[in-house]
Chain A
Amino acid sequence: QPVLTQSSSASASLGSSVKLTCTLSSGHSSYIIAWHQQQPGKAPRYLMKLEGSGSYNKGSGVPDRFSGSSSGADRYLTISNLQSEDEADYYCETWDSNTWVFGGGTKLTVL
């Protein structure tokens, strides 16, 4: 089964950009992932599906400030022009052999 590794925390200033990383375990570097956002006290929200090629497909209503990219086993979520409402937990997720796996999540603090 694939393992997804995320940093536990990140921080960036209001109006700046931040790049969050999700790393796929060895042997799974080509896998598609999804990024989900969970604001404090709320349900998760699907942000995008991201392929190993770097191609991504965003969910309905996701602002243009959110983008994805890939490099090898790393999958990135970049948030530009950070807003206060971007302060949230961000989870990556993938799938293999009818099992779905989440990363541990990154808590983003907007300073």
Chain B
Amino acid sequence: QVQMVESGGGVVQPGGSLRLSCEASGFTFSSYGMHWVRQAPGKGLEWVAFIRYDGSNKYHADFVKGRFTISRDNSKNTLYLQMNSLRAEDTAVYFCAKSGGGAALLQDYWGQGTLVTVSS
């Protein structure tokens, strides 16, 4: 079955860095685009970044551009999110999600999430 397991979350000081990982299984990872989506405590879902199946194109939400970078290693079936210059407002649960077919590449499977807390 399709499964994604995120890791790498934790507590970090403002201005610090963190790298999240998402290990995928149960599908051909190298054939699908992947997303990062976050959810601040008590808030709704917020799209963060997307990477195409082969890593050829990457897209980031405006509020993370220049600070966060999505990447992938298809040989390891793993998705990454490098987060730099972290701010208190980046505190959230970060979910990785597999994209489905079709032009819109909407998410069709989600991981369980990893919590990032930015606090001094």
**A contacts, CB < 8 Å to B:** 32-34, 36, 38, 42-46, 49, 59, 89, 91, 93-95, 98-105
Contact = CB atoms under 8 A, between A and B. Distances in A.
Interface in B71-104: 95, 97, 100, 102-104
Nearest to B1: A60
Contacts of B46: 102
A91 B37 CA distance: 13
19 contacts: A32-B102, A32-B104, A32-B106, A34-B104, A34-B108, A36-B110, A43-B110, A43-B113, A49-B102, A49-B104, A49-B106, A93-B47, A99-B47, A100-B35, A100-B50, A100-B106, A102-B37, A105-B44, A105-B45
B18 interface: no
Interface in B6-59: 35, 37, 44-47, 50, 57, 59
B31 to A, nearest CB: 17
Nearest to B59: A98
A36 B45 contact: yes
B64 interface: no
Nearest to A47: B108
A20 to B, nearest CB: 14
A77 B61 CA distance: 27
